[in-house]
Structures are given as C-alpha cells and as structure tokens.
Amino acid sequence: MATEGVEQVVGEIERVRTAHETAIEGLRSKKIIIPIENGVEVPQRVVEARIKAIRAQREASIAEHEEALEVEIADLRAQGREKLEAARAALETEYYKAVAAAGPQGAEWQEAEARAAFVREDLQRQSGPADVVELYQTALAAGDKTGAWLYGRYGSEHLAALAKSTDMGTAARAQMALGELEHLAWSGAVAARRDAERKLAELGRKLEAPVTRGERLEEAADWADRLGMSQSPAELVDSGIIDSAKRFEGVAFTAPVPA
C-alpha cells in the first residue's frame, strides 16, 4: 500500500521516542547510593558533593538523550514528509486509473467530447441534487456507457459546488447526492480514496505530533493558555496532566488528575 512507508516512519518515531524516554526515566529514578569506604562512614559534606556531582552527570546524560532525540526525530520527520507526499501522489494516480477505467475508451472519447457541453447544460437545468443522480441512473439503465460516465463526472462537479451552498438544506442534500453518485459511478474508487486520505491525514498528524521535550513544552504552554491551567508547562508535561487534557479538550484542570 502507498501508506506503508509512512507507517514505518511513524513506527520508528515511536520506537526512538520510547527508547530515549525509557533511558531518561531510568536516569531520573535511579537511586544515588554513597557506599561506606573501608568501613568508615563518608563525611556529610563529601556525600553532598558526590551527590551533586552524580546529579550533574545525570542531567548531562539526560540532555544528551534529549538532543539526540531532537536530531533523530528531525531526520525521521523529513523522511516521513517525503514518503507522505509520495503516498498522496500514488493515491491520486490510483484514483485516476480507477476512474479512467470506468470511462470512454479509444474512439469513445470523441463521442464524450461532443456530448460534454450538452451534459453540463442538462445538469444545470435540474431542479434538485437527487435529479442529478437520477440522470446518471437513467443513462446507465439505457446502456449509455459514455453518457453515464459524463453524468458521473460532471454531476459530481455540479453537486460538489452545490454542497458549498450557503443554504444548509441544499448543501446537505447535495452532499448526500454526491456520495451516492460517486459510489454508483466509480465502483468504490471514491470510498477507497477517502479511506486512504483519512489514513494519510492521521499518519500526517502522528508524524508531526510533539515528541521532544521542547515540543511538548510548547504544546503544554498552548493548552495551559487555552484552558486556563494554573501549572507551568513543565509541570503539565512531567505530571502527565497534558495527556489528560488532550483527551478532554474544553475542561480546565487546575490540579493533578488522580492516578
């Protein structure tokens, strides 16, 4: 499938994120133990100095993981965007082939070109969206393959324009008729295209979703501003509140959500 390459990149982003976050969590949660030397307890000031040095070393290691994550994510996103565009192009090609296969072949194109203007005029005279679908069905029932294809193609364009009407009733009826016509005319090609477009859109969102700490802090700051949260972005990220907020948009959290 055209989406496989993008799915692989999204999966790799998740793998890389998990690996770095696991390593960072391990560094943060690891206990600091200062052993007794030769049976003698280490002086408190020495203990404090060693603890400070160990913490500094761990923070440096955490910073290295975060920097490495930023570099890897940037590279993977670049690959993902390229594959996403290629997938979209492939989708359009597949759709074009499916529609073309249902249309005129060879010399039939001359007839289609000669009738196109009349079909468009006929569509403009129809009283409602349902009539456009009926024209297609009538041509199909009569065995008029070229006419059916023309009514399918130009009827879809006509209904798509009506679906943008400021009259909500007309727009709704046109949208329903458009879905019916496209399903009848293109033998599922439109449905397959829409499913693939939805999948690509979801993969695109996953590809661009905040992953690095800097990105998550920016996201948290935006949510805090939009929802009136009292915590700092760092508190929202570290406590996991931001994840809850993303699931319940519109609810302003002012305290950590109980586990």
pTM for this one? Answer: 0.64
Paired tokens of 206 = 């996953």
Q: What length does the chain have?
A: 259
**Burial zone of 102 (CB within 10 Å; 0-12 exposed, 13-18 middle, 19+ buried):** middle
Distance in angstroms (rounded) separating the CA atoms of residues 46 and 56: 15
Distance CA 202, CA 17 (A): 19
**Residues 65, 67: Cα–Cα separation, whole Å:** 5
pLDDT by residue, tens only, the chain of 259 residues: 568 889 999 999 999 999 998 999 899 888 888 777 666 777 888 888 988 999 999 999 999 999 999 999 999 999 999 999 999 998 888 888 877 777 888 888 899 999 999 999 999 988 789 999 999 999 999 999 899 999 998 999 999 999 998 989 999 999 999 988 888 887 667 777 878 888 899 999 999 999 988 898 888 888 888 778 788 888 888 887 777 766 665 444 433 434 3
| Tokens representing residue 167 in the block | 């009259």
What SS3 state is found at 76? helix
Cβ pair 3, 199 in contact under 8 A: yes
**Helical residues (DSSP H) of the chain, grouped into ranges:** 4-29, 44-102, 108-124, 129-141, 145-162, 168-185, 189-208, 213-227, 233-239, 241-247
Alpha-carbon gap, residue 136 to 153, rounded angstroms: 10
